[in-house]
Amino acid sequence: MVFDKEAGSSSQALKAPPPPREDTPLLGSHKSLSSQAKTFANVFIAIVGAGVLGLPYTFMRTGWVLSLLTMFGVAALTHRCMMLLVYTRRRLESFDGFTKISSFGDLGFIVCGSFGRILVDVLIILAQAGFCVGYLIFIGNTMANLLTSPTASLKTTMTLLSSKILGLNPKSFYIWGCFPFQLGLNSIPTLTHLAPLSILADVVDLGAMGVVMIEEVIVLLSNRPVVRAFSGFSEFLYGLGVIVYSFEGIGMCLPLESEMKEKNKYGKVLAFTMGFISIMYGSFGALGYFAYGDETQDMITANLGAGLISILIKLGLCVNLFFTLPIMMNPVYEIIERRFWGGRYCLWLRWLSVFVVTLVALLVPNFADFLSLVGSGICCALGFVLPSLFHFLVFKDDMNRTAWWSDVTIFVLGIGLGVSGTWYALQEMFAAKV
């Protein structure tokens, strides 16, 4: 086993890298350990993001009963895989010669050597950059949508959306408009200065969700469209990708457990948080679908009616995602600067990363389709495949039959769902839109 052969070198490699890192909790403190309440808040911040805005559309595509079942199933599986990482780290740290394992990448290095570290790093880069692409798509589409009148005819709306601004379509114009400002924000080297922006974004997201849900209830009382409980298997794969994306946060699992004062209660706090988020997500997705039926848009904000409150919600979400983007890119910078610039700050690598993310956002046509692609192709591997694989490699000599089958089942399931979901999401993204 790799972790048996490389104990000495691993110990040296894991000594106190300088902050900030990909595993730095937003509300964490190295001077005092976190209470259960602070751990709950940190887990909540790590998981909840823009993916929730695509859930009503997912419920429309997948069917509300199947979506709810998938929601709670993914939450339970994500909790299980997070705890597999915790158990694996505890087992490795119990061996002589191992220092503190701080992050997912550290664990990959101990278990599978350099290949494990590279694999985790690549997936984290793709996942975090994918989130940021989703943010830019949301900003571009939402700002373009604000140009249209909700009372306009479909023909008029399409004309407005296809009109040019300085030679660019509205979505491209607003995405490129973010670019120079993102270069400045992503030049900030200290995560501490950016963390309050992410916390503010979550507060605004929750407030916006509350207002949107009230709007949905009002619409539902006056308009009760026909809704479906179940859809086909291909639609299930689509919904699975979006839901897995919405629960992605496994990269913060190990550092948050390290920060907790009562580590023996981490599993219960994590389970409570996942349950709370599942109920919140399920309520938001189901209400949106029940209110708008087959008219549900890929971003639920596009269904909001005219008025000042609707405009403020859309603008508020855009502003907060705009300021959250450099937070989500920070793990990317930590990895690429460590690998290609000796761990030192590198401005041109950061700017190049922002440019690549912007280009991808310009090429992707649909917000929800992209969520499904990232969720299926990347988050399944990070969230299900690698935790079960690492746990299996470390515990295989001491496993009973039940534990053995559990790890193998999660591993095979993660690969199967990831491959099939990715294939379907790519078909959706590149299919001709009639």
Domain ranges of the chain: 36-154+165-432
Of the candidates 387, 409, 411, 384, the residue with the CA atom closest to the CA atom of residue 85: 387
How high is the pLDDT of residue 21? Answer: 53
> Across residues 142-159, what is the average pLDDT?
58
Name the percent of the chain lying above pLDDT 90.
28
| pLDDT of residue 69 exceeding 80 | yes
Cβ-contact 281, 242 below 8 angstroms:
no
How high is the pLDDT of residue 348? Answer: 93
Collapsed DSSP state (helix, strand, coil) of residue 165: strand
How high is the pLDDT of residue 44? Answer: 84
Alpha-carbon separation of residue 104 from 33, 282, 332 (angstroms): 20, 29, 14
> Across residues 398-416, what is the average pLDDT?
92
pLDDT band at 150 (very low <50, low <70, confident <90, very high): very low
- pTM for the predicted model, two decimal places: 0.80
Alpha-carbon separation of residue 302 from 86, 199, 433 (angstroms): 40, 24, 19
| pLDDT of residue 7 exceeding 70 | no
Pick the more confident residue, 199 or 258. Answer: 258
Q: Which residues contact 270 (CB under 8 A, 6 or more apart)?
A: 43, 79, 82, 83, 253
Mean pLDDT of the chain: 81
| pLDDT of residue 147 exceeding 70 | no
DSSP state of 260: B
How high is the pLDDT of residue 66? Answer: 94
Cβ-contact 134, 51 below 8 angstroms:
yes
| pLDDT of residue 202 exceeding 50 | yes
Of the candidates 11, 2, 4, 191, the residue with the CA atom closest to the CA atom of residue 101: 11
How high is the pLDDT of residue 192? Answer: 59
* Measured distance between the N- and C-terminal CA atoms of the chain, rounded to whole angstroms: 53
Cβ-contact 390, 85 below 8 angstroms:
yes
How high is the pLDDT of residue 148? Answer: 57
> Across residues 308-329, what is the average pLDDT?
82
State the helix-helix crossing angle for 401-430 and 64-93, rounded to 10 degrees. Answer: 130
Q: Is 180 exposed, middle or buried (0-12, 13-18, 19+ CB in 10 A)?
A: exposed
Collapsed DSSP state (helix, strand, coil) of residue 34: strand
How high is the pLDDT of residue 344? Answer: 86
pLDDT band at 207 (very low <50, low <70, confident <90, very high): confident
**CATH code of domain 36-154+165-432:** 1.20.1740.10
pLDDT band at 153 (very low <50, low <70, confident <90, very high): very low
* Segment 223-242, tens digit of pLDDT: 888 889 898 888 898 888 88
Q: Tokens 């700002």 identify what position?
A: 143
Strongest mean pLDDT among 53-57, 190-194, 339-343, 351-355: 351-355
Which region among 11-15, 42-46, 202-206 has the lowest average model confidence (pLDDT)? 11-15
* Segment 37-57, tens digit of pLDDT: 888 887 887 788 777 888 999
